[in-house]
C-alpha cells in the first residue's frame, strides 16, 4: 500500500513538473515617477492570466502557455500601456513598466494635512505638496532634514559651524515658524527642533506633505509659516523586508532596515532600525576645527495596525532615538568635555515617542489622536553646560460630520508641556532665593471648521480655533480658504489666517548657548502674532502627445507683530532679544514646473523670490541668513537598455546677509551665489535589489571660498587673549587686530565638499 502511495505521489509531482515546463512565468513591477503603483491591473485581455500589483508595485503571473501576447497594464489616473511579449516554455520573463499620469487625474493623490480630513489633492481648498520616497531617492540622504533641501521654498539652515545645529525655513521664515508633524502629531518642536529632525530616517516615510502658509487654526502654535507632515508607512502595505544601506568617501555610513510581521489574526507590526555613523574628523579648510560634526545615531521604530470591525482605525507607533555628536578642535576627545583647554561642543540626545490614532466605536466619524514624547539633552558648549528635559503630551478628539453639500469638522485639543533646564529660562526671578522653576504649560483648545460646496466649481472653507494660555490668556486664530475650479485641470486657491507663537529662546536659538556673546533680554517677551495670506494657481495640461506639463505658482504674504529677533549688531559682545517695535514682512513668489516626456525624461524645477524684512522706526532691513532667490531642480532619465536611471539634482541660492562681529570684521557681509549639485546612477536589473551610486556636491563648493575664516578666533575659543574695555567691548590689539571674540555662527551652508557615495536597496515583498 505504501509503495502505491509513493508511486502515485511521484507521478503527480512529475506531471506538475512537466506541466510547469510547458508554461512560462511573467513578473516585474509597475511604477510611476512618484514611486511604486499599487492595485495596477496587469494581464492579457480575454484570458484568465492576470493579476494586480502589491504595495510595492510588483506582480507575478504563473502558468502562461508559451506564445506571443499583448500585455495590458492600467490604473485609474494613469495612461494605459500595452506591451508585446513572447514567452517560451519554462521561461521566467521580467517586464517592468512605467506609467505616466493622466492629464485629468494627476492631482488625485490623497492628502490629509491641509484640512485634517482625507481628501483628494484636487478637492482640497488648501494647496498641499506631496513628496513620495522616490522623490527623495533622487539624492539619497540619511535624514529627512537633509532630504528637504530638494523641496522648492524649503531650506534646511545650518546655524553653527561646530555642532551643525539646524532648522527648516519655509519661504524665508525661520525654523521656529515651521511646525513638523509625525503622522499628524506635533511632536517635533521646542527642544527637539534643534536636533530632533536629524533623527527621522527616510526608510520610515510613506510620503511627506508640505503646507506653505497659515495652518494655526487647525494645528495651533508654531504653524505660522507652514507645516511639514511626515507620514510613516502603513504596516499593512509595507514590504516584508526592506533595507537601504549606503556609504560615502567621507566614511559616512547609513543603514535603514524594515521588517513586517503578523501578530496573530488581527494585527500587523512594522519594525524599523536606522543607524548613522560618521566618526572621521576632517579639517579641509585648515582652521583647526572639524568641518562636519561627528555623529553616531540609532533610531528604533515600531508601528502596529489593528484590524477592527467596520474597518475602524487603530494604530500605535513608538520610536526611540539616541545620538552622540560632537564638533570642535581636531584634538578634542571626550576626556576634554566641559574643560577649558580644548574647545568642543558635545551633545548627547535621548528621546522616545508614542503616537496613536483610535476611531471610536460610534456611528459617527469620531477620531482620537494622541502622542507623548520625552526628550533629554545633555550638552556642553565649550565650558558652558546645557542640561534640558522636556515632556510633551498631546490629545485631539475630532468629529467629521458630512452635512449634505457641506462638511463640519470640530474637535477638542489639549497639550501639556513640561520643560526644565539649567538656564535662567527656568530660574526664579528672586536673585536672593534662586530656585529652579520648571515650566508646566497646559494649552487647551477648541476648533471648528466648515467646508461649503457653494457650487460644483466653488468651495469655501472657514475655520476658527480658540486656545487658552495660562500666561497670555485667550487666543483666537481664524482661517479662510477659497477654491475656484476654473477648469478640469486649472485651480485657483486663496488662503488666509492668523497665527501666534510663544518663544523659548534657549531651546530654539542655538546662538544663545554657544560662543562668547552675552545674552540680554531687557523686557518680558510677548507672543508673536501674524497675519498670513497666499494665492495659489495650479495648471496641468497635456501639451502634445509626448509631453505632460504641470505648472504651480504661489504668491504669499505674512505680516508679523511682536516679532522676536536676535540683535547681533547693536552690541558685538551681546545677543539682545526683544519684541520688535515695528513689524516684520515676509512676501514673495514661487513657481514649480513638472514636465514628463514620453521618452522617459522627467524634469522637476522650482524657483522662489523672497523679500523678508523688518521695519522699525522707519528703518527697513533685510533679515539675516535669508536669500532673495532660491531654485532647485531634479532631472531624471531612464537608460532602459542598460536598466539604469540617471538623476541630476541641484539647488541654487542668492546672497544672504551674514552676522558680523563688528565694523572691523574682515569677513564678507553677504554670502556669494552658491549651488549644490549631485548626480546619481541607479541599476535596476536585479530582482528585489537596486544598486545606486554617484557624486554629491559636484562643484566641490564650501562656504570657506573667498572668506578669510569662518569661525572667529578658532585659535582662542575661550577668549583668553582678548582684551576688553570697561564696557566689556573687545579691543583691537596686535594679536587681535579685528577686535573679535570667538564665534561660530557665521554659517549659511554645508561645509562638506565633493564626495562619492555607493549604496544598495533590497525589497522583499513576500
| In a shared domain, residues 131 and 73 | no
For the segment 484-494, what is each residue's pLDDT rounded down to a tens digit? 999 878 999 99
What residues contact residue 193 under an 8 Å CB cut-off, 6+ apart?
167, 175, 176, 180, 507, 508
Number of structural domains (the chain) is: 3
User: Based on C-alpha coordinates, what's the Rg of the chain?
Assistant: 28
Q: Give the least confident one: 283-287, 545-549, 707-711.
A: 545-549
- Under the banding of pLDDT at 50, 70 and 90, the label for residue 4 is low
Other beta carbons within 10 angstroms of residue 588's beta carbon come to 21
| In a shared domain, residues 124 and 84 | no
| In a shared domain, residues 378 and 335 | yes
The secondary structure of residue 105, as a DSSP letter, is T
Which pLDDT belongs to residue 158?
82
For the segment 300-317, what is each residue's pLDDT rounded down to a tens digit? 999 999 999 888 999 999
CB 278 within 8 A of CB 292: yes
With respect to residue 2, please indicate whether it lies within any of the assigned structural domains: no
| In a shared domain, residues 166 and 241 | no
- The better pLDDT of the pair 259, 437 is held by 259
| In a shared domain, residues 687 and 728 | yes
Which pLDDT belongs to residue 120?
67
Residue 701 CA, chain-centre distance (Å), reads 24
Which pLDDT belongs to residue 674?
96
| In a shared domain, residues 258 and 224 | no
What residues contact residue 103 under an 8 Å CB cut-off, 6+ apart?
489, 540, 541, 542, 548
Which SS3 state, helix, strand or coil, does residue 387 take? strand
Which pLDDT belongs to residue 423?
76
Q: Which residue range(s) make up the domain with 214?
A: 110-230
Average pLDDT over residues 90-95: 90
pLDDT of residue 507 exceeding 60, the answer is no
CB 406 within 8 A of CB 450: yes
Percent of the chain with pLDDT over 70: 84
With respect to residue 484, please indicate whether it lies within any of the assigned structural domains: yes
With respect to residue 196, please indicate whether it lies within any of the assigned structural domains: yes
- Picking from 3, 630, 282, the residue whose alpha carbon sits closest to that of residue 11 is 3
With respect to residue 16, please indicate whether it lies within any of the assigned structural domains: no
43, 70, 98 — which closes off a domain?
Answer: 98
With respect to residue 541, please indicate whether it lies within any of the assigned structural domains: yes
With respect to residue 413, please indicate whether it lies within any of the assigned structural domains: yes
**Domain of 474: which CATH number?**
2.40.170.20
| In a shared domain, residues 282 and 137 | no
pLDDT of residue 354 exceeding 80, the answer is yes
| In a shared domain, residues 276 and 210 | no
230, 260, 295 — which closes off a domain?
Answer: 230
| In a shared domain, residues 277 and 224 | no
pLDDT of residue 343 exceeding 80, the answer is yes
203, 230, 257 — which closes off a domain?
Answer: 230
Alpha carbon distances (Å) from 125 to 341, 385, 490, 598, 657:
58, 47, 13, 31, 36
Average pLDDT score over the chain: 85
Which pLDDT belongs to residue 755?
97
pLDDT of residue 107 exceeding 50, the answer is no
What residues contact residue 327 under an 8 Å CB cut-off, 6+ apart?
161, 162, 163, 164, 289, 290, 292, 293, 294, 344, 345
With respect to residue 435, please indicate whether it lies within any of the assigned structural domains: no
| In a shared domain, residues 389 and 498 | yes
- Under the banding of pLDDT at 50, 70 and 90, the label for residue 549 is confident
Which pLDDT belongs to residue 702?
95
- Under the banding of pLDDT at 50, 70 and 90, the label for residue 175 is confident
Q: Which residue has the cell 492579457?
A: 44
Alpha carbon distances (Å) from 297 to 52, 349, 750:
39, 9, 19
| In a shared domain, residues 288 and 423 | yes
- Under the banding of pLDDT at 50, 70 and 90, the label for residue 297 is very high
pLDDT of residue 110 exceeding 90, the answer is no
With respect to residue 620, please indicate whether it lies within any of the assigned structural domains: yes
The pTM score is 0.82
**Domain of 53: which CATH number?**
2.60.40.1120
- Under the banding of pLDDT at 50, 70 and 90, the label for residue 181 is confident
**Domain of 149: which CATH number?**
2.170.130.10
For the segment 25-78, what is each residue's pLDDT rounded down to a tens digit? 999 999 886 678 877 888 887 677 888 888 788 899 988 988 888 888 877 556
Cell numbers that stand for 78 in this block: 494613469
pLDDT of residue 667 exceeding 50, the answer is yes
| In a shared domain, residues 36 and 159 | no
pLDDT of residue 19 exceeding 50, the answer is no
The DSSP code sequence of 555-605 is: EEEEEEES-EEEE-SS-TTEEEEEE-SEEEEEEEEEEEEEEEETTS-EEEE
For the segment 588-635, what is each residue's pLDDT rounded down to a tens digit? 999 999 988 877 888 999 999 999 998 988 889 998 899 999 999 999
**CA 202 – CA 150 distance, rounded (Å):** 14
Q: Give the least confident one: 180-189, 378-387, 594-603.
A: 180-189
For the segment 241-267, what is each residue's pLDDT rounded down to a tens digit? 999 999 999 999 999 999 999 998 899
**CA 658 – CA 210 distance, rounded (Å):** 28
- Under the banding of pLDDT at 50, 70 and 90, the label for residue 12 is very low
Q: 36: left (phi > 0), else alpha (psi -120 to 50), else beta?
A: beta
Amino acid at each position: 500500500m505504501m509503495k502505491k502511495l509513493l508511486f502515485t505521489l511521484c507521478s503527480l509531482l512529475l506531471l506538475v513538473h512537466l506541466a510547469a515546463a510547458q508554461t512560462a512565468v511573467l513578473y516585474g513591477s509597475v511604477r510611476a515617477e512618484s514611486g511604486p503603483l499599487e492595485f495596477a491591473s496587469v494581464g492579457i485581455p480575454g484570458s484568465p492570466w492576470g493579476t494586480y500589483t502589491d504595495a510595492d508595485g510588483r506582480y507575478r503571473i504563473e502558468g502562461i502557455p508559451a506564445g506571443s501576447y499583448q500585455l495590458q497594464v492600467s490604473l485609474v489616473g494613469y495612461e494605459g500601456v500595452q506591451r508585446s511579449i513572447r514567452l517560451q516554455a519554462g521561461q521566467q520573463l521580467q517586464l517592468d513598466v512605467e506609467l505616466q499620469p493622466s492629464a485629468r487625474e494627476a492631482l488625485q493623490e490623497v492628502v490629509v494635512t491641509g484640512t485634517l480630513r482625507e481628501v483628494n489633492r484636487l478637492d482640497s481648498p488648501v494647496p498641499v505638496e506631496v513628496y513620495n520616497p522616490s522623490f527623495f531617492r533622487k539624492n539619497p540622504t540619511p535624514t529627512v532634514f537633509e532630504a528637504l533641501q530638494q523641496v522648492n521654498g524649503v531650506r534646511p539652515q545650518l546655524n553653527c559651524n561646530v555642532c551643525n545645529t539646524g532648522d527648516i525655513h519655509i519661504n524665508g521664515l525661520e525654523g521656529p515658524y515651521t511646525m513638523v508633524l509625525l503622522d499628524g502629531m506635533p511632536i517635533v518642536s521646542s527642544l527637539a527642533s534643534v536636533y530632533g529632525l536629524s533623527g527621522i530616517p527616510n526608510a520610515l516615510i510613506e510620503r511627506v506633505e508640505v503646507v506653505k502658509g497659515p495652518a494655526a487654526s487647525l494645528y495651533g502654535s508654531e504653524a505660522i509659516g507652514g507645516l511639514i507632515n511626515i507620514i510613516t508607512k502603513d504596516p499593512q502595505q509595507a514590504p516584508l523586508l526592506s533595507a537601504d544601506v549606503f556609504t560615502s568617501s567621507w566614511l559616512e555610513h547609513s543603514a535603514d532596515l524594515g521588517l513586517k510581521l503578523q501578530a496573530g489574526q488581527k494585527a500587523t507590526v512594522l519594525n524599523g532600525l536606522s543607524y548613522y555613523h560618521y566618526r572621521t574628523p576632517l579639517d579641509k579648510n585648515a582652521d583647526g576645527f572639524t568641518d562636519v560634526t561627528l555623529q553616531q545615531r540609532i533610531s528604533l521604530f515600531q508601528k502596529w495596525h489593528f484590524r477592527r470591525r467596520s474597518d475602524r482605525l487603530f494604530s500605535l507607533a513608538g520610536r526611540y532615538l539616541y545620538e552622540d555628536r560632537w564638533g570642535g578642535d581636531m584634538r578634542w576627545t571626550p576626556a576634554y568635555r566641559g574643560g577649558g583647554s580644548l574647545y568642543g561642543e558635545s551633545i548627547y540626545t535621548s528621546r522616545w515617542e508614542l503616537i496613536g490614532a483610535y476611531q471610536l466605536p460610534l456611528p459617527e466619524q469620531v477620531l482620537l489622536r494622541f502622542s507623548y514624547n520625552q526628550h533629554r539633552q545633555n550638552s556642553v558648549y565649550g565650558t558652558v553646560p546645557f542640561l534640558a528635559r522636556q515632556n510633551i503630551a498631546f490629545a485631539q478628539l475630532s468629529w467629521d460630520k458630512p452635512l449634505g453639500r457641506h462638511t463640519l469638522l470640530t474637535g477638542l485639543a489639549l497639550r501639556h508641556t513640561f520643560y526644565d533646564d539649567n538656564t535662567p529660562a527656568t530660574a526664579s526671578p528672586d536673585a536672593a532665593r534662586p530656585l529652579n522653576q520648571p515650566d508646566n504649560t497646559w494649552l487647551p483648545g477648541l476648533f471648528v471648521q466648515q467646508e461649503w460646496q457653494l457650487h460644483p466649481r466653488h468651495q469655501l472653507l472657514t475655520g476658527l480655533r480658540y486656545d487658552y494660555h495660562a500666561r497670555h490668556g485667550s487666543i483666537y486664530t481664524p482661517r479662510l480658504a477659497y477654491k475656484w475650479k476654473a477648469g478640469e485641470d486649472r485651480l485657483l486657491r486663496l488662503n488666509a489666517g492668523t497665527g501666534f507663537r510663544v518663544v523659548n529662546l534657549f531651546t530654539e536659538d542655538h546662538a544663545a548657548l554657544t560662543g562668547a556673546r552675552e545674552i540680554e533680554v531687557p523686557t518680558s517677551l510677548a507672543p508673536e502674532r501674524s497675519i498670513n495670506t497666499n494665492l495659489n494657481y495650479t495648471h496641468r495640461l497635456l501639451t502634445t502627445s509626448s509631453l505632460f506639463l504641470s505648472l504651480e505658482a504661489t504668491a504669499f504674504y505674512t505680516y508679523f507683530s511682536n516679532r522676536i529677533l536676535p540683535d547681533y549688531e547693536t552690541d558685538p559682545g551681546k545677543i539682545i532679544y526683544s519684541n520688535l517695535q515695528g513689524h516684520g514682512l515676509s512676501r514673495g513668489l514661487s513657481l514649480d514646473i513638472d514636465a514628463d516626456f514620453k521618452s522617459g525624461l522627467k524634469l522637476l524645477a522650482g524657483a522662489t523670490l523672497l523679500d523678508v524684512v523688518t521695519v522699525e522706526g522707519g528703518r527697513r532691513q533685510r533679515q539675516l541668513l535669508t536669500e532673495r532667490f532660491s531654485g532647485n531642480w531634479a532631472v531624471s532619465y531612464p537608460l532602459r537598455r542598460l536598466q539604469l536611471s540617471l538623476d541630476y539634482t541641484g539647488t541654487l541660492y542668492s546672497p544672504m546677509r551674514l552676522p558680523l562681529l563688528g565694523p572691523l570684521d574682515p569677513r564678507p557681509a553677504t554670502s556669494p551665489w552658491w549651488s549644490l549639485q549631485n548626480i546619481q546612477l541607479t541599476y535596476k536589473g536585479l530582482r528585489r535589489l537596486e544598486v545606486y551610486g554617484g557624486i554629491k556636491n559636484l562643484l566641490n563648493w564650501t562656504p570657506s571660498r573667498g572668506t578669510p575664516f569662518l569661525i572667529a578666533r578658532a585659535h582662542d575659543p575661550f577668549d583668553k587673549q582678548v582684551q576688553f574695555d570697561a564696557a566689556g567691548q573687545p579691543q583691537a590689539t596686535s594679536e587681535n587686530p579685528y577686535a573679535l571674540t570667538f564665534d561660530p555662527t557665521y554659517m549659511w551652508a554645508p561645509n562638506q565638499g565633493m564626495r562619492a557615495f555607493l549604496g544598495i536597496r533590497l525589497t522583499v515583498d513576500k
